[in-house]
Structure 1
Amino acid sequence: MTEAPAPLLPIATGARVRVVIATLLRRHRGRAVATAALFLVASALGVVLPACLGRIVDAVSNDAGIAVVAGWVVAAGAGAVGAALAMLWAARVLAGLVQDVLADLREDVFASAMRLPVSTVDDGETADLLSRVTGDVDAVAEAGGNVVPVLLSAGFAIGVSVLALTALDPRLALAGIASVPFYLLGTRAFLRRSRVVFREVRVREAARSQAVLEAVEGIETLTALGEQDHALERVSTRAEDSIRMQVEGVRVRNRLFRWINAGELVGLGAILATGFLLHAGDAVTVGMVTTAALLFHRLFDPVGQLIFGLDDIQRAAIGLARLVGVIDLAPATPREAPVGVGDREPVVRPRVGIELRDVGYRYPTTGRGISDVTLSIAPGTTTALVGSSGSGKSTLARVIAGHHPPTSGVVDVEPETTVPYYLSQELHRFRGTIADNLRLVAPAATHDQMVAALIAVGAEWAVDSLTSDDAGARIDEGRIQQLAIARALLADPAVVILDEATADVGLHHRDAVEAAIRVLRRDRTTVLIAHRLEPVSTAEQIIVFAEGRAAQRGTHRDLLATDGLYRRFWLAQTEGPQLHRSPNEHLPPNELLPPNEQRGTP
């Protein structure tokens, strides 16, 4: 059975998208008007060639002489050259306009994405926002750079050609209308079906990406639980759903091709037949019929480009709607920055305890979350939350951090003015020097304070390059996270929440980052989330989550002595082949200790 994708972030209406596009174009009103004028001139010059060819046919039919024919040939050449030059100029101006508009759109989208509350992002699937700021931005950029110039040129060419055909002889223009029903019926069927198909393509791509992310990020836990096959099946199912929807999109386009080809055949045949009858009655010349046929034939490419381009326009429009949804969802103003040690008088850090009583939280759209969590965290101690991806541990951490207000129960942090410091697995090295990066949490931090924080987290490598502009080029993922932990020390919080803080630092720097985290945890109330259990094993309290509830709790020793999820996690990570050992086959006492506490053997 196909798994339905979770509800995602909102999508803007077509009217709202048009308002945003109009607002972006108004910022460049002069170039927008100049672009339209240049395309109009290029299209008008494009009519010169078929008109001159018709005149040439009449001149030859009437034996007008070589001079007359040569004059029309020169005029045809001049018109073609003029049209090409005007089109190149128009395309160049349009390219600059499109890139500037896209740049404005990107800035608005990324600025809005950075202002989104954590609870809003987590309410949908993580990959939805990722697919919007990557795939949708790329789709809109591709349409803006490649499709918009073609469609704008096609639109002007169609309008000018129809006017020229009508001016030549309205009866010939009416004959060409025979093609219109085919275009309208084909386009209507295409738009009605493609609007649904291409929207579903984006949604299913986001769902597939989310399944891949969850499988990759939780591989250790999934392996420990023997759930890797289920995760791979989920990725496969969502990938197949995405492929099926893309195949359906190809079928929709192929049906449109048949309608367009039929319209071209009927329209051109109608013009030639009408021209034959009118010429038989001496109402039009052969040259006029020739010009009419060439003008109608000139519509083939623009009409095809316009209708075929609806494919890309549909995808770009859906992408724009998703991007505008991000813009509209973001709060109008950014949140206030935290206050660090350099911004206040020295105070004694309070000892903060945390009490949770029957706490529950559910994301409004997905229904995922936590239920009936009761927990007591003593001041200055570390409580670790472990479990598979989606089990609720990160949700609980964000409830404690204040990112999500609980939907039931009570979260009691004493004193109430305490603001937990949240450090995630996301790696961010901000623009500027290392000192600029550290002062994000404490703008008035002194040089000595920054040096002390760096040394405390083992980042002596950064001391001599605190104010160097090119130091960032040598900073890799592990060192970026060391700087993040140094920032946390400068903020000097009473409560720190570490959500998979070592997940993306790589094996080369993992030990250094975990040592820095141990320094940060010292004498602070800490909530630690990790898939790797070695750092977890030193916590005073460990909570094992499953399906949004606390399934086990206790110390490392207590949990290893009991058959359950934690014991299976630990064995999978430290004693891989012994994963299925019977719980009655007790481990030697030495194996109950984390590796850094085990006694040496003779």
Structure 2
Amino acid sequence: MPASSSPRGHGRTLLTLAPYLWPKNETGLRTRVVIALVLMVLAKGANVLVPIAYARAVDALGPREGAAAMVAIPVALVVGYGLLRMASSAFAELRDAIFTKVQARAGRVIALNVFRHLHALSLRFHLDRQTGGMSRVIERGTRGINFVLDFMLFNIVPTLIEILLVAGILWGMFDFSFAAVTLVTIGLYIAFTLVFTDWRLRFRRAMNEMDQEANTKAIDSLLNYETVKYFGNEKHEAARYDATLARYEKAYTRSEVTLNYLNMGQAGIIAIGLTVVMLMAARGVSNGSMTVGDFVLVNTYLIQLYLPLNFLGFVYRELKQGLVDMEAMFTLMREKQEVADAPDARPLAAGPGELVFEEVRFGYRPDRTILKGVSFHVPAGRMLAIVGPTGAGKSTISRLLFRFYDLQSGRILLDGQDIRQVTQESLRAAIGVVPQDTVLFNDTIRYNIAYGRPGASEAEVEAAARLAQVHDFVMRLPEGYDTRVGERGLKLSGGEKQRVAIARTILKDPRVLILDEATSALDTRTEQEIQAALRGVARGRTTLVIAHRLSTVVEADEIIVLQEGRVAERGSHAVLLAEDGLYAQMWRRQSEAVAAAEAAAAAAAKAAASGVDPDAGPAHRPQDGAGEGARDSIGHKPNGGRPAPRGAEPTPAR
């Protein structure tokens, strides 16, 4: 049995919850808790007096001498009976009304703490988790908190107190046998409920797991809507979803059928106990030791107890599940931070943005090192480009700089400060990123740009949009900056999303800028436009450019070539071409690819103009050297005069 479903696990969960019900420095909330407890006692006190008033009214209605007495006494008792019932209900409602704020605050604070903690966990944790399933854990956990507070504090505990009070009253008014039968019946009822519920909880747990799995699959499929459409896999996705729903259906059916069996057993125990006690009371009436009012009193007490007891079975089942759900959520809160601020961490001091990597070693797994002693220096305001083949560790460098992970050895210094000795908040505030895959919030364009600096004025947002060359596009939209971009920004094109991302970074105004394949997924014309915007953003900032398209890095002050986790080459574009090493090979391959693409495009255009099939034969193919003399954007004439790669070359994966 997992810890979360054991008594010890439940006890730990309740201990975790307790401080939220008695919050520090919240005198008003603590006062509410005390008042609610007092009202709970008053409500139960009034409730146990109701049957006594009712029984005495029944006795008073019996044959007596003196008509006046017969009229006056029942009226007083009936009025008292009504007042007690009203008081019991009023105290209970006031209790709930006063405690609601405590309950709502506890749920709010816990949910907020979980949310903050999840954002504090490492990237590795989130890459290993399924967002849909995790959201269900939080949803059920917060719902479980409300249920536990509602029913355990003001239903289970008061009901148990009422049982003991009634047993004491029956013992005191009649004899021990009435109290004994009542307690034995209730004990059997509770024991049967606990044992049977524990047995059938496996079906409820399986049902929740299938529900979570189905929700995860649905969210994953809908988030990848376009991919599903690209491959025409709607039926496949529906079949996967239905398979999970079928397992949920089976678990749900078993859970509900066993619930019916539980209810039958509970009803049987209650009926037997009630019958025995009523027979004992009837015998007392027949032999004169009890009155008809006493018979009514016993019956009323048992009915009054068994009604909440019948409810107690449901409460116990849901309470147990609520505790399991809460424990799952609290387990997330106990998840350790892989990347945490040092105890003496200070905010990053102001500086120009000088960046140094010193013998940095890192691996996502202990048995696979990605970076093997990487060192480089980027003076403030200069640009460093990082290129290399797949798996060389290019994007890992940006993740380490952002402290998504902590390196295994070596140091990363920003303005002379070890990034492990400064707060993550201040470090990340100093770094701006324009990623390859820009994901936007399902909100307005204004919100997404302003996300770079929440609270920025409308004028500042528009100024950033102008610098990112997106303002004119936005103003052509019917709703302008209030246009919603859709889930993950899918209503915008790739170039439009990149411009919004650039505007967002401009608004953030970081001292260090990371361009992580920021234009690799764009067409040539869009790439050239966005490169112009990026040059404006990078001017005067320390910039890291992670690139596959080498044409985007020729202006860098220095280029380093990573290979198998080490710096294989370094230097300017011209120096690396002159060395004729790995960089030069990559340049030639990309140049040849561009030349071939341009030749094919020219042939297709010529054929379209002449109405001849471009693949009909060699007479219609472009002659060698069709691309001679083409130059790249800054005037280089690489690889023997072949055109520089600009937007059409293949992009090897990182």
TM-score higher than 0.5 here? Answer: yes
Equivalent residue number for residue 107 of structure 1: 112
Task: Pick the structure with greater CA Rg.
Answer: 2
Across the two proteins, how many residue pairs are aligned to each other? 510
Equivalent residue number for residue 133 of structure 1: 138
Is contact 1:421–1:497 with CA below 8 Å preserved after alignment?
A: no
Is contact 1:109–1:327 with CA below 8 Å preserved after alignment?
A: yes
Equivalent residue number for residue 10 of structure 2: 14
Q: Kindly tell me: are residues 436 and 75 of structure 1, through their superposed partners in 2, closer, same or farther at Cα, counting changes over 3 Å?
A: same
Spell out, residue by residue over 1:146-175, the C-alpha distance to the aligned partner (whole angstroms, 9 max, x if none). Answer: 886555654554444344333332322222
Equivalent residue number for residue 585 of structure 1: none
How far 1:292 sits from its partner (Å)? Answer: 1.0
Q: Kindly tell me: are residues 173 and 345 of structure 1, through their superposed partners in 2, closer, same or farther at Cα, counting changes over 3 Å?
A: closer
Is contact 2:207–2:251 with CA below 8 Å preserved after alignment?
A: yes
The reply on whether 1:98 has 2:117 as its aligned counterpart is no
The residue type paired with residue 26 of structure 1 is W
Match of 1:486 among 503, 524, 530: 503
Equivalent residue number for residue 184 of structure 1: 190
Is contact 2:167–2:182 with CA below 8 Å preserved after alignment?
A: no
Q: How does 1:60-209 map to 2 (within 5 A)?
A: 60-63=61-64, 65-141=70-146, 144=149, 149-151=154-156, 154-169=159-174, 170-180=176-186, 182-209=188-215
Equivalent residue number for residue 31 of structure 1: 32
Gaps of 5+ in 2: 24-28, 375-382, 420-426, 490-495, 555-585, 596-620, 623-644, 650-654
Cα-Cα RMSD: 5.7
The residue type paired with residue 161 of structure 1 is V
Equivalent residue number for residue 514 of structure 2: 495
How far 1:277 sits from its partner (Å)? Answer: 2.7
Q: Kindly tell me: are residues 447 and 316 of structure 1, through their superposed partners in 2, closer, same or farther at Cα, counting changes over 3 Å?
A: closer
The residue type paired with residue 293 of structure 1 is N
Is contact 2:465–2:500 with CA below 8 Å preserved after alignment?
A: yes
The reply on whether 1:267 has 2:286 as its aligned counterpart is no
Q: How does 1:506-525 map to 2 (within 5 A)?
A: 519-520=533-534, 525=544
Is contact 2:138–2:329 with CA below 8 Å preserved after alignment?
A: yes
Query: In the aligned structure 2, how far is the partner of 1:294 from the partner of 1:354?
Result: 82
How far 1:538 sits from its partner (Å)? Answer: 9.2
Q: How does 1:193-592 map to 2 (within 5 A)?
A: 193-221=199-227, 230-329=236-335, 331=337, 344-346=350-352, 361=365, 380=385, 403-404=404-405, 425=439, 427=441, 437-439=451-453, 453-460=464-471, 484-489=501-506, 490-491=509-510, 493-497=512-516, 519-520=533-534, 525-526=544-545
Query: In the aligned structure 2, how far is the partner of 1:207 from the partner of 1:556?
Result: 44
Bigger mean CA offset, 61-70 vs 85-94? 61-70
Query: Is the partner of 2:385 in helix, strand or coil?
Result: coil
Query: In the aligned structure 2, how far is the partner of 1:58 from the partner of 1:282?
Result: 13
Equivalent residue number for residue 582 of structure 1: none
Q: How does 1:37-52 map to 2 (within 5 A)?
A: 37-52=38-53
How far 1:296 sits from its partner (Å)? Answer: 0.5
Query: Is the partner of 1:495 in helix, strand or coil?
Result: strand
Query: In the aligned structure 1, how far is the partner of 2:10 from the partner of 2:206?
Result: 17
Spell out, residue by residue over 1:203-247, the C-alpha distance to the aligned partner (whole angstroms, 9 max, x if none). Answer: 333322222233233344455567665544333322333333333
Query: In the aligned structure 2, how far is the partner of 1:439 from the partner of 1:62?
Result: 85
The residue type paired with residue 495 of structure 1 is I
Q: What is the TM-score normalised by the length of structure 2? A: 0.61
Query: In the aligned structure 1, how far is the partner of 2:472 from the partner of 2:166?
Result: 69
Query: In the aligned structure 2, how far is the partner of 1:307 from the partner of 1:448?
Result: 61
Query: In the aligned structure 2, how far is the partner of 1:57 from the partner of 1:411?
Result: 89
Query: In the aligned structure 1, how far is the partner of 2:171 from the partner of 2:36?
Result: 26
How far 1:291 sits from its partner (Å)? Answer: 0.2
How far 1:271 sits from its partner (Å)? Answer: 0.7
Query: Is the partner of 1:273 in helix, strand or coil?
Result: helix
Query: In the aligned structure 1, how far is the partner of 2:355 from the partner of 2:440?
Result: 28
Query: In the aligned structure 1, how far is the partner of 2:322 from the partner of 2:196?
Result: 16
Query: Is the partner of 2:76 in helix, strand or coil?
Result: helix
Is contact 1:438–1:487 with CA below 8 Å preserved after alignment?
A: yes
Spell out, residue by residue over 1:509-546, the C-alpha distance to the aligned partner (whole angstroms, 9 max, x if none). Answer: xx9999768844998655589xxxxx999999xxxxxx
How far 1:411 sits from its partner (Å)? Answer: 12
Q: Kindly tell me: are residues 159 and 217 of structure 1, through their superposed partners in 2, closer, same or farther at Cα, counting changes over 3 Å?
A: same
Is contact 1:384–1:528 with CA below 8 Å preserved after alignment?
A: no
Query: In the aligned structure 2, how far is the partner of 1:31 from the partner of 1:43?
Result: 18
Query: In the aligned structure 2, how far is the partner of 1:174 from the partner of 1:446?
Result: 74
How far 1:56 sits from its partner (Å)? Answer: 2.5
Query: In the aligned structure 2, how far is the partner of 1:85 from the partner of 1:107?
Result: 33
Query: Is the partner of 1:13 in helix, strand or coil?
Result: helix
Query: Is the partner of 2:288 in helix, strand or coil?
Result: coil
Query: In the aligned structure 2, how far is the partner of 1:293 from the partner of 1:235?
Result: 53
Is contact 2:516–2:545 with CA below 8 Å preserved after alignment?
A: yes
Q: Which of the pair has the greater relative contact order for Cα pairs under 8 Å at 6+ separation?
A: 1
The residue type paired with residue 241 of structure 1 is R
Equivalent residue number for residue 612 of structure 2: none
Identity %: 14
Query: In the aligned structure 2, how far is the partner of 1:189 from the partner of 1:207?
Result: 28
Is contact 1:43–1:160 with CA below 8 Å preserved after alignment?
A: no
Bigger mean CA offset, 67-76 vs 253-262? 67-76
How far 1:434 sits from its partner (Å)? Answer: 9.1
Query: Is the partner of 2:404 in helix, strand or coil?
Result: coil
Q: Kindly tell me: are residues 151 and 501 of structure 1, through their superposed partners in 2, closer, same or farther at Cα, counting changes over 3 Å?
A: farther
How far 1:447 sits from its partner (Å)? Answer: 12
Gaps of 5+ in 1: 1-7, 363-369, 387-391, 465-470, 503-510, 530-534, 541-552, 562-587
Query: In the aligned structure 1, how far is the partner of 2:253 from the partner of 2:551?
Result: 50
How far 1:329 sits from its partner (Å)? Answer: 2.0
Query: In the aligned structure 2, how far is the partner of 1:514 from the partner of 1:263?
Result: 81
Query: In the aligned structure 1, how far is the partner of 2:240 from the partner of 2:89?
Result: 53
Q: Kindly tell me: are residues 404 and 214 of structure 1, through their superposed partners in 2, closer, same or farther at Cα, counting changes over 3 Å?
A: farther
How far 1:307 sits from its partner (Å)? Answer: 1.6
Q: Kindly tell me: are residues 139 and 193 of structure 1, through their superposed partners in 2, closer, same or farther at Cα, counting changes over 3 Å?
A: same
